Amino acid sequence: MPIAENISKHNFKSFLWHAVFLAFAQNFMDVDTVIPAMVIEAGGNSFHVGIMAAIMMGGSSFTQLFFAPVLSNVPFKKRYLLAGINLRIISLFALALILYLFATNSNVSILWILFLLISIFSFSGAFTNISYIDILGKSISKVKRKSFFSTRQIVGGVIILSTAFLAKQVLSSSSFPQNYSIMFLIGGAALLFASFGFWNIKETEPSGTKISGLKNFVHNMIHELKSNKKLIYFLGFINTQGIIISFIPFVMLYAKETFHTQASDTGLFLLFKVIGVVSMSLIVLVYSKKLKYNSLLYINAIISITLAVMILFIPNAAWLKWVFILGGFAVSLYMITLNGVLLEISGNENRALYTGLVGAGNIIPTIFPLISGSVISKLGYPFFYILFILIVSTSFFFIHKLRCKN
């Protein structure tokens, strides 16, 4: 068997190891349900949820712009990947410790400390993602990427599904902030085990583009935008469909304020979202050879709009499970298509540059949560949902222009 094929299979196992334990960790640090619920429990309102969503969704992607010039100059990125993951692990353990130590203090007093630690967790994730995408692109061939992403979603979803009841039990076993302290402690430990997969990665193929300073980086970005029209349309796609990631935290707030949901309900919402993620990932895996990325993008836009329309008309809390299942569909499709299309329009030489550029172009997903907080507080939820529908609707134009071959 060729050496390159052996290394590819070895790296595949390493990525799979990481996916398994990362999936376990995600149950206890879920950015759509657990973390926004924690902010609400700590006394946060729509403004605070907006800041949190801006940091974790759009803001973390935007910071990739600052990391990309450095990492583009590095031919081998494994150590930077591990450094970012380790910083995420430390921030989770710190969150657990702070929540435990401040258990007797007022909720508001710890809110901004939590934001600081969440920022470290999110921005280190952005730093990690550039190296992750680059190494992944060198390890898995184009023809296998779509099936890989859907398989990873399924494996991760099954793990999350099997442990969702544990997460629900932890949240309901004690009151705030002890329950969330335990959640982040378990999440940090699981992420630590997930990092062991990347310690075994064999990165033998160099990649990157030499960039000397900010001026050269800006010049390279302008050149890529001019020479690759698909990159422009891809930026349009992430700025319109990308807001689905920061939409679900506001659904959590809506459920809390409208239907008076409790901490134990957060575990149920997480479970329903995971059911949606696993179901959609399985469908994509089965039909991966027949479904092109463009079809998946259209389907996701339709699901996202349907999701917002449904919330406008649900009569009671019993309907929320369908909202989170649909949310799982949308999140699953977005993550599969986001990474898949990015890898399709980039190459080994410019992949880190593209990842940083995509992060910099993540403008609307960055400001959408901040605007949403103000819209909700001043105009109410119906206007927020209408705004979401209008933005997602514009994604149809960019999807049509992308015309992905795979």
| CB burial readout 33-49, b (16+ within 10 A) else e | bbbbbbbbbbebebebb
CB 301 within 8 A of CB 241: yes
Identify whether 177 is preceded by a cis peptide bond (ω within 30 of 0).
Answer: yes
**Residue 187, amino acid:** G
Write the secondary structure of the chain as one string of H (helix), E (strand) and C (coil): CCHHHHHHHHHHHHHHHHHHHHHHHHCCCCCCCHHHHHHHHCCCCHHHHHHHHHHHHHHHHHCHHHHHHHHHCCCCCHHHHHHHHHHHHHHHHHHHHHHHHCCCCCHHHHHHHHHHHHHHHHHHHHHHHHHHHHHHHHHCCHHHHHHHHHHHHHHHHHHHHHHHHHHHHHHHHCCCCHHHHHHHHHHHHHHHHHHHHHHCCCCCCCCCCCCCHHHHHHHHHHHHHHHCHHHHHHHHHHHHHHHHHHHHHHHHHHHHHHHCCCHHHHHHHHHHHHHHHHHHHHHHHHCCCCCCHHHHHHHHHHHHHHHHHHHHHCCCHHHHHHHHHHHHHHHHHHHHHHHHHHHHHCCCCCHHHHHHHHHHCCHHHHHHHHHHHHHHHHHCHHHHHHHHHHHHHCHHHHHHHHCCCC
In whole angstroms, give the CA distance from residue 15 to residue 8: 10
Return the pLDDT at 206. 67
Asked whether 71 and 80 are in contact (CB, 8 A), the reply is yes
Residue 1: predicted pLDDT: 39
- Each residue's pLDDT, cut to its tens digit, for the chain (406 residues) gives 344 454 556 666 777 777 777 777 777 777 777 888 888 887 777 788 888 877 776 666 667 767 777 777 777 778 888 888 999 999 999 999 988 887 555 555 677 888 888 888 888 887 888 788 777 777 766 666 666 666 776 777 677 777 777 877 888 888 778 888 898 999 899 889 888 878 877 766 766 566 666 677 677 777 777 888 888 888 888 889 888 878 888 888 888 888 888 766 877 887 888 888 888 878 887 777 777 888 889 999 999 999 999 998 888 888 889 999 999 899 888 888 887 788 777 766 676 677 767 766 677 887 888 888 888 888 899 999 999 999 999 999 998 888 776 6
* Residue 404 token pair: 């992905």
Closest CA to 84 of 41, 135, 29, 121: 121
Rounded CA gap, 140 and 121, in Å?
Answer: 27
Output the 3-class SS for 241-301. HHHHHHHHHHHHHHHHHHHCCCHHHHHHHHHHHHHHHHHHHHHHHHCCCCCCHHHHHHHHH
Burial tier of 217 (Cβ tally within 10 Å: 0-12, 13-18, 19+)? buried
* CA gap 141, 138 in Å, rounded: 8
Residues 6+ apart with CB under 8 A from 288: 146, 147, 150
| 174/172 Cα distance (integer angstroms) | 6
Among 198, 151, 163, 149, which Cα is nearest to 17's?
198
What is the reported pLDDT for 387? 93
Owner of token pair 């969440």? 118
Q: What whole-number distance in Å separates Cα of residue 373 and Cα of residue 170?
A: 29
What is the pTM (predicted TM-score) of this model? 0.69
Q: How many alpha carbons fall within 13 Å on the CB side of residue 64? A: 30
d(CA 23, CA 21): 5
Calculate ∠ Cα 53-60-198, nearest 5°: 120
Q: Is the CB of residue 345 less than 8 Å from the CB of residue 232? A: no
